[in-house]
Amino acid sequence: MNDHKTFYITTAIDYVNQKPHLGTSYEKIGADCMARYKRLCGYETHFLMGNDEHSASVEQEAIRRELDTADYCREMSGEFRDTWSKLDISYDDFIHTSEKRHVTAVRELFERVHRNGYIYKGNYKGLYCESCEEFISEKDLEDGLCPRHKQEPKSISEENYFFALSRFEQPLLEHIEKNPGFIRPRARANEVVNVIKGGLEDVSISRSGKTWGIPLPIDESHVVYVWFDALTNYISALGFGSDDDGLFEKYWPADVHVIGKDITRFHCIIWPAMLMAGGIDLPRSVFAHGFISLAGEKMSKTRGNILDPRKMADIFGADGLRYLLMREVPFDRDGDISIETLVNRYNADLANELGNLFSRTTAMISKYFNGTVPVEPYGEEAELYGELTAAVEAFRERMERMEFSRALAAYWTVVQRANRFIEEKKPWVLAKDPDRHGELKQVFRELIAVLRTSGVILSPFMPSAMKLMLNKLGVEEVRIEDTPPGKVGVEGFELPKPLFPRIEDRPADLFTD
């Protein structure tokens, strides 16, 4: 157990059988905002992402394209990394499940679980959905189809190795009860508890007759089942099984695994049971986010309505897209968006309110004081100080709970207040009276305080735009302790370009090819 001020956050690793889409991007942006926020708070943060390569769906896609599977995975890794770069995702490590460090960790964990008596050989006969990479019981089918992928599962009969998951029903229930923050949000925890109480069956953790995968250390005619393989990435990336760099000792257990709500069974039941069986500490929490629909419809290939995050970043900018997704869709539940809603939110919040506040303030300071307002203390006597402090506190409280939409809404009240403050104080009237220039400077100090605070507070969501804004205000070091700032002023600057130019026309094509 580490006692340092560290923070380890992970996302689900992605199958590389298709390009990144808005759903996967939503998860990565949310986790990135949390990672950036924790860095802002002084935590030594380790943010892990990666690709899941040992799946049948990936191998099948490589065959379809007439490519060697390893070569195909390398090609797709470039696609994913390019997308994450375009969205300004600040991961510290990117794991591939074909890497040597991962293979070492998977085999080590398997051997530990086997030595502890939780793995045995048996015959499996049942239904298997290749898209889920999961065995499905007949009672879970809907009209004979996999409920997630709406396809008929294959009937499989083979000799496999099994993990004695059924032996962990009580330990899992006890852990969830003693650690109420282990599964978030609470509704997901209730779902998981109901599944466990309904009875757990032992699960197959190997496939025979396969070559694409990690051979079992006890029987190389089998490869490790893709989910046992994939889940191990959270510790393999930290050097589990070797830990030459001391990362495992430093960062494990993870503070939060960020995943989609559809894979809670794996992360909240199978993964903790695997760790218990291997004698390893469990992660502190799993956060299962909801899904995004488009204009009331689920996004899918068949509907042709899957939004391309790279095209969206071209229209809204990476910062704009990041803000819109986190503001418009609560992270702990499902949410619906439309192109019109996003454009309207962008123009209202970013162009009209935050962007306009920055442009008007800097333009008036340049016009009335040649870009310089002397630095002076800023504190409780200031008119907006109380509201600014309250907005920061509300923001931070909600960020700790990963309530990103609520955090932004709570802080945005002071952005809107600052815009009203301009209308109330009428700087253009004060500027006409030389005797009131001291009062005018104080008006601008109030506005600069809000802008400087916004630049820090909003930087996890809009890192590039907020960095530009702070640089224009003469701020280089970004620290959460400086919100609100203790001293305020500016010493000459060139008028900046608009941070968020208005979008006048509906974007034409934002969908994947």
pLDDT tens per residue across all 513 residues of the chain: 445 699 999 999 998 888 899 999 999 999 999 999 999 999 999 999 999 998 888 888 889 999 998 899 899 999 999 999 999 999 999 999 999 999 999 999 999 999 999 999 998 777 877 776 777 777 778 878 887 767 788 877 778 999 999 999 999 999 999 999 999 999 999 999 999 999 999 999 998 888 889 999 999 999 999 899 999 999 999 999 986 789 999 999 999 999 999 999 999 999 999 999 999 999 999 999 999 999 899 888 778 788 999 999 999 999 999 999 999 999 999 999 999 999 999 999 999 999 999 999 999 999 999 999 999 999 999 999 999 999 999 999 999 999 999 999 999 999 999 999 999 999 999 999 999 999 999 999 999 999 999 999 999 999 999 999 999 999 988 889 989 999 999 988 777 789 999 999 877 778 776
pLDDT of the residue at 509: 73
Note whether residue 98 is domain-resident.
yes
Note whether residue 509 is domain-resident.
no
φ, ψ of residue 267 to 5 degrees: the values are: -85, -25
Look at residues 268, 289, 310 and tell me which one is the last residue of a structural domain. Answer: 289
Note whether residue 308 is domain-resident.
no
pLDDT of the residue at 205: 93
Environment class of 423 (CB within 10 Å of its CB; exposed 0-12, middle 13-18, buried 19+): exposed
Note whether residue 298 is domain-resident.
no
pLDDT of the residue at 256: 98
CA 204 to chain centre: 30
Q: Which two tokens stand for residue 163?
A: 């993990």
Q: Which two tokens stand for residue 142?
A: 């809907």
Yes or no: say if 293 and 334 are a contact pair by the CB < 8 Å rule.
yes
Yes or no: say if 220 and 322 are a contact pair by the CB < 8 Å rule.
no
Q: Are strands 154-163 and 119-129 parallel, antiparallel or unpaired?
A: antiparallel
Same domain membership, residue 414 and residue 270: no
Note whether residue 294 is domain-resident.
no
- Residue 197, number of CB atoms within 10 A of its CB: 10
Give 265-311 as a DSSP string. HIIIIIHHHHHHHHT-PPPS-EEEE--EEETTEE--TTTT--B-HHH
Amino acid at 333: R
Same domain membership, residue 330 and residue 385: yes
Same domain membership, residue 357 and residue 284: no
pTM of the model: 0.93
**What span, in angstroms and rounded, lies between the C-alpha atoms of 268 and 231?**
11
- Give the total number of structural domains in the chain: 2
- Where helices occur in 9-68 by DSSP H, the ranges are 22-40, 56-64
Provide the residue range defining the domain that includes 120: 6-289
Task: Give the CATH number, domain containing residue 243.
Answer: 3.40.50.620
Note whether residue 307 is domain-resident.
no
**What span, in angstroms and rounded, lies between the C-alpha atoms of 403 and 344?**
22
**What span, in angstroms and rounded, lies between the C-alpha atoms of 189 and 195?**
10
Q: Which residue has the tokens 């086997």?
A: 114
**What span, in angstroms and rounded, lies between the C-alpha atoms of 268 and 279?**
17
Same domain membership, residue 390 and residue 267: no
**What span, in angstroms and rounded, lies between the C-alpha atoms of 513 and 251?**
40
Yes or no: say if 294 and 338 are a contact pair by the CB < 8 Å rule.
yes
φ, ψ of residue 429 to 5 degrees: the values are: -80, -45
Same domain membership, residue 171 and residue 36: yes
Q: Are strands 219-224 and 256-260 parallel, antiparallel or unpaired?
A: unpaired
Note whether residue 295 is domain-resident.
no
**What span, in angstroms and rounded, lies between the C-alpha atoms of 463 and 482?**
17
pLDDT of the residue at 137: 74
Look at residues 289, 305, 336 and tell me which one is the last residue of a structural domain. Answer: 289
**What span, in angstroms and rounded, lies between the C-alpha atoms of 53 and 48?**
16
- Residue 38, number of CB atoms within 10 A of its CB: 25
Strand partners, 376: 488
Yes or no: say if 254 and 10 are a contact pair by the CB < 8 Å rule.
yes
Environment class of 65 (CB within 10 Å of its CB; exposed 0-12, middle 13-18, buried 19+): exposed
Same domain membership, residue 229 and residue 135: yes
Same domain membership, residue 357 and residue 269: no
Same domain membership, residue 343 and residue 281: no
- Residue 481, number of CB atoms within 10 A of its CB: 10
pLDDT of the residue at 513: 62
DSSP 8-state class, residue 55? S
Same domain membership, residue 274 and residue 232: yes
**What span, in angstroms and rounded, lies between the C-alpha atoms of 165 and 135?**
14
Task: Give the CATH number, domain containing residue 453.
Answer: 1.10.730.10
What is residue 158's three-state secondary structure? strand
Closest to 154 (Cα-Cα) out of 181, 175, 127: 127
Q: Which two tokens stand for residue 180?
A: 């109420």
Note whether residue 436 is domain-resident.
yes
Same domain membership, residue 228 and residue 128: yes
Q: Which two tokens stand for residue 291?
A: 């899904």
